[in-house]
Amino acid sequence: MNKRHDPGHGAPPLAAPYESNASIAEVADRLRHAGAVAVLTHSKPDGDAVGSTMALVRTLRLLGKQAQGVFIPPWNPRLEPIVLDTPVVHVRHGCFDHPPLANADCVAIVDTGSWNQVSDARAWLAPRREDCIVIDHHAHGDADIAGVRHIDARACAAAELVARVCKDLLGLGSFTGFPPDIAEPLYLGLATDTGWFRHSNVTSGALRLAADFIDCGVDHNRLYRLIEQSDSPRRLRLLRRALERLELIDDDRIAIIALDRHAIDECQATQDELGGLTDLPQTVGSVRAVAVLTELEPGLTKVSMRSKAVDPPESPVDVNRVAQTLGGGGHLHAAGAKVHAPIDEAKRRAIEALRRGMRP
Ligand SMILES: [Mn+2]
């Protein structure tokens, strides 16, 4: 054993770094030699997760394999028209002894490589580690989740990497050769993970790929309507109420929205429809940090926080650290906490914590 990496007597082995150990061609080869493949993705699957899963399942089925998509809840019914009649299993209560899953001799995990994003599947995955393949574009994950890994954090979406695998599997000369039902979910993955080609992760490669998928026959308008223009009237009523409750403080640098149970119930908004309210105030130039408070029950308040990227020498508000002072956590620009306090008290604490976080 290499001395330098010897963790020493009794010490746990060092965690392997989360990086590729297989090329696209090697991943495709592994799938080509599999019989029955389960394609798994992170819980609460989004456009990229569902798009990547559907494209890979349909490609493998074209090759005559028994392939199934596996979705861990909560499921967004808006994505149903992407799935249509492709075989999928919606896992309930972490139950994986459904026959097509029990028979799988290979598991492909797309758009994640983190145990905590597939925690329902942990007991099922752990003994299959050597038959698991990860295809992911996140910088962080757990290398011990799969024996074969293709990880490329430069890719704007997992769909970009899955597209390369599918092209290899189908032996295509170019990305314009995909059947429309494989190009469509891949396009959806690229579009949703780049905010419809607006976010900073968009690359010339992603735009070229998207153009190729349109040439395959993808209907951009149908997908845009489906994902971005299918809200319920309740959602718009909730946005109106949220804007009524919006407060801009500290020279319009901090934005706060507090929605008590009465306001939420009045709009008949579901928990799902409460998502994304943090986007609204971030459109204002002066706003540096946003907190949206929603009353889950009397005495329990959810706080969602966001901060904007800024140009140096300014430094962004680290909402991860701010949320930690409230008993939560997250990332530099997106974090949250559940505060055991009535909403007014939680709001006072969130403002105080954000003000501390704004100080250099
Ligand atoms: Mn993704």
- Structural domain includes residue 322: yes
**CA of 154 relative to ligand 1 center, distance in Å:** 12
Stated pTM of the model = 0.83
Domain boundary among 228, 246, 273: 228
The whole-number pLDDT of residue 3 equals: 38
Same domain, 22 and 110: yes
Rounded alpha-carbon distances, angstroms, from residue 147 to 76, 165, 350: 30, 17, 43
> Which residue, 199, 228, 257, sits at the end of a domain?
228
- Report yes or no: 256 and 249 within 8 Å, Cβ to Cβ: yes
pLDDT recorded at residue 13? 58
3-state secondary structure of 96: coil
Query: How far, in Å, from the CA of 114 to the mean position of ligand 1?
Result: 13
Q: Is residue 139 part of a domain?
A: yes
* Domain co-membership, 292 together with 311: yes
Same domain, 283 and 346: yes
Same domain, 257 and 344: yes
Q: Which domain holds residue 300?
A: 234-358
In terms of Cβ atoms closer than 10 Å to its own Cβ (0-12, 13-18, 19+), residue 324 is middle
| 170 Cα: distance to centroid of ligand 1 (angstroms) | 23
Count H helices and E strands in the chain, helices first. 13, 12
- Whether residues 252 and 287 share a domain: the answer is yes
Boundary (domain end) residue, out of 228, 247, 266 = 228
Ligand 1 geometric centre to CA of 146 (Å): 18
H/E segment holding residue 37: strand 36-41
* Alpha carbon of 256 to ligand 1 centroid (Å): 29
CATH number at residue 337: 3.10.310.30
Model pLDDT for residues 251-264, shown as the tens digit of each residue: 999 999 999 999 99
Residues 165 and 30: their CA atoms lie apart, in Å, by 11
224 and 242 fall within a common domain: no
pLDDT tens for the 360 residues of the chain, in order: 343 444 444 455 567 899 999 999 999 999 999 999 999 999 999 999 999 999 999 999 999 999 999 999 999 999 999 999 999 999 987 788 777 788 899 999 999 999 989 989 999 999 999 999 999 998 889 999 999 999 999 999 999 999 999 999 999 999 999 999 999 999 999 999 998 998 878 999 999 999 999 999 999 999 999 999 999 999 999 999 999 999 999 999 999 999 999 999 999 988 778 888 998 999 999 999 999 999 999 999 999 999 998 888 888 999 999 999 999 987 788 889 999 999 999 999 999 999 999 987
Q: How far is the CA of 196 from the centre of ligand 1 (A)?
A: 13
Q: Is residue 140 one of the residues assigned to a domain?
A: yes
Residue 149 near residue 161 (C-beta atoms within 8 A)? no
pLDDT at 84: 96
Ligand 1 centroid from CA 159, angstroms: 7
- Rama region for 327: left / alpha / beta (φ>0; ψ in -120 to 50; rest): left
Report pLDDT digits (tens) over 58-93. Answer: 999 999 999 999 999 999 999 999 999 999 999 987
Of 275, 289, 276, residue with least CA distance to 247? 289
Residues 184 and 289 in one domain: no
- If asked whether residues 15 and 149 sit together in one domain, one would say yes
Tally of domains in the chain = 2
| Predicted pLDDT at 300 | 96
The alpha carbon of 52 and the centre of ligand 1 are apart by a number of angstroms equal to 9
Q: Do residues 109 and 197 share a domain?
A: yes
CATH number (domain holding residue 171): 3.90.1640.10
For residue 348, what are its two tokens? 């006072």
Tell whether 1 is covered by a domain.
Answer: no
Sheet holding 289-297, edge to edge: 247-249, 254-259, 289-297, 300-307, 334-339, 329-330
Whether the CB-CB separation of 32 and 39 falls below 8 Å is answered with no
